[in-house]
Amino acid sequence: MLRSGAKVYFIGIKGTGMCALAELMHNSGTGISGSDRDEVFYTDEILKELGISCHESFDASHIRDDMDLVIHSAAYSIDSNPELQEAERRGIPILKYTDALGAYSALFDSSGIAGVHGKTTTTAMSGTLIRAAGLAARVLAGTAVGSFGGRSTLSLGDRFFVAETCEYRRHFLSFHPRRIVLTAVEPDHQDYFPTYRSIRDAFVEYCSLLPSGGELIYCADDPGACEVADIIRSSGTDLVFTPYGFRAEGDFRILSYHVEGERALMRLSAFPEDFRLRVPGRHEALDAAAALALTSSLTRAQAGTKVRTKEQREALVKALEDFSGLKRRSEILGEADSVLFMDDYAHHPTAIATTLAGLKDFYPHRRLLVSFMSHTYTRTAALLDDFASSFGDADVLILHKIYASAREVYHGGVSGRTLFEKAESLWKKTKKEVYYFDEPDEAVKPLNTMLKKGDLFITLGAGDNWKLSRALYEDRLKIQPAGGV
């Protein structure tokens, strides 16, 4: 069904993952078409450039007998989507996106990148390094990546496949990994994983899919990742265990890390050169170490040797310094009237704390103003105290209502204002300021008055408060002096 020349129809093709898989299959000679809502997405341009036709509606008449397979986004089900209903009536095989990704991974020597935090950046960095190393690989990340030409994919050859794999609802169990990069394991997705043990066991189950001789590359600085590695190791399985990080032993131990001139410099055991990163934070150094470990493993598999020649090392050093991040990960929107505007997807207390610490490290002389919109009631309720204490590096905090999810049913009493009151009580003894605006657009006017030259303003979270940073940036562009930055 995934063979070259097959005809595959994607329902929800404009989604990041769906579009990425469609592009990879298109590049393999598969005939791709699809459908989605009549809304503009950044993926519209990608589909147009590839010549992939997309119906902007869902209609049973779009389904034809000559289709070999229908792949659908998790957002659509056979209960309500007329195209899925028609495909079933005609007897056309149907796969969910995660199952299709798993079937695709079985065609290659595949590596899955997983973890509560860091998997998207690690995948993007891995793709950047894989290209610099000249490896024959395909790469799929969970968002648009600047070094991928603003796309989520790279097509560099047919031997390896590297993909970001998601733990939610155990989606990653469809994947066929020969290697797994495990970045972090801790409580999250409380609507599906009510306890730490339940989410830990999901990662254990995923890592148990590794075949004999497979490799688990894990973060030695993350207790959950170490616990999963220990459980897998104790089962007596015949795997290669490769730790990375500040606490790791071996080639991928981070020996040093410091910030110099808005660059992070880090040194690994296996490399005599310093690596320079343009993205802020020690967590980004961990992601880079993971990507280097994976690239080295793939290089051994392809060439039979480690990355060790001077030319190979220099190519990797340059690639990492050129890496400018990805969409909604410490994304710089621009600087206007001497205020720097950024946006980041961080929506878990640990990610928030590490992101803000990295920004303070990179921009020590800027006042840091943070807008945060929490995502899902269950996550906010379960991690309320952790959320409230995660903003310690912010100078000014702006909180909003909770961005609800259609996937959860919540009957508790926690709201965005609950988080505001908790954070406010923690900050009473400091000179820091915390404000609450239910809707992000309500904060535009007050913030335009509050912002000063030299500030850094960032929106955080998986909600829609990203619009706030963009609105403020556009307002500042209008008032900055002619010839300004």
**Cα 443 from chain centroid?**
27
Look at residues 109, 154, 104, 150 and name the one whose alpha carbon lies nearest to residue 127: 154
What is the model's pLDDT at position 484? 46
Phi, then psi, of 254 in degrees rounded to 5: -85, 110
- pLDDT, average across residues 286-312: 89
- pLDDT, average across residues 115-123: 91
Dump pLDDT digits (tens) for 53-89.
999 999 999 999 999 999 999 889 999 999 999 999 9
| Among the ranges given (26-30, 239-243, 324-328), the one the predictor scored with the smallest mean pLDDT | 324-328
Same fold, 108-322 and 331-479: no
- pLDDT, average across residues 271-286: 88
Q: Return the higher-pLDDT residue of 291 and 366.
A: 291
What is the model's pLDDT at position 327? 60
Tokens of 464: 């829609």
Phi-psi region of 483 (alpha: psi -120 to 50; beta: other; left: phi over 0): left
Tokens of 441: 């657009």
Question: Which of the listed ranges 303-317, 334-348, 439-453 does the model predict with the highest average pLDDT?
Answer: 439-453
Tokens of 39: 């809304």
Using the Cα atoms of residue 392, residue 398, residue 401 and residue 402 in order, give the sign of their dihedral: negative
203 contacts 228 by C-beta, under 8 angstroms: yes
At the topology level, CATH places domain 7-96 in Rossmann fold (3.40.50)
What is the model's pLDDT at position 409? 65
What is the model's pLDDT at position 480? 63
> Strand 94-96 vs strand 69-72: parallel, antiparallel, or unpaired?
parallel
State the residue for tokens 């590096």. Answer: 393
219 contacts 191 by C-beta, under 8 angstroms: no
Look up the CATH number of domain 108-322: 3.40.1190.10
Q: Which CATH architecture has domain 331-479?
A: Alpha-Beta Complex (3.90)
379 contacts 408 by C-beta, under 8 angstroms: no
Compute the distance between CA of residue 39 and CA of residue 55 in angstroms, rounded to an integer.
Answer: 11
42, with CB counted inside 10 A (0-12, 13-18, 19+), is: middle
171 contacts 100 by C-beta, under 8 angstroms: no
pTM over cut 0.85: no
Q: Return the higher-pLDDT residue of 464 and 173.
A: 173
What are residue 70's DSSP bridge partners?
Answer: 9, 94
Any idea where the domains of the chain sit in the sequence? 7-96, 108-322, 331-479
Look at residues 366, 375, 358, 346 and name the one whose alpha carbon lies nearest to residue 451: 366
Dump pLDDT digits (tens) for 2-51.
767 899 999 999 988 899 999 999 988 999 999 999 988 888 989 999 99
Compute the distance between CA of residue 453 and CA of residue 261 in angstroms, rounded to an integer.
Answer: 20
Asked whether residue 142 carries a pLDDT value surpassing 90, the answer given is no
What is the model's pLDDT at position 111? 98
Compute the distance between CA of residue 233 and CA of residue 227 in angstroms, rounded to an integer.
Answer: 10
Q: How many residues does the chain have?
A: 485
- pLDDT, average across residues 425-432: 81
The model's confidence at residue 432, banded by pLDDT at 50, 70 and 90, is confident
What are residue 275's DSSP bridge partners?
Answer: 266
State the residue for tokens 């599906």. Answer: 192
What is the model's pLDDT at position 58? 96
Compute the distance between CA of residue 98 and CA of residue 123 in angstroms, rounded to an integer.
Answer: 17
What is the model's pLDDT at position 153? 92
Compute the distance between CA of residue 147 and CA of residue 125 in angstroms, rounded to an integer.
Answer: 9
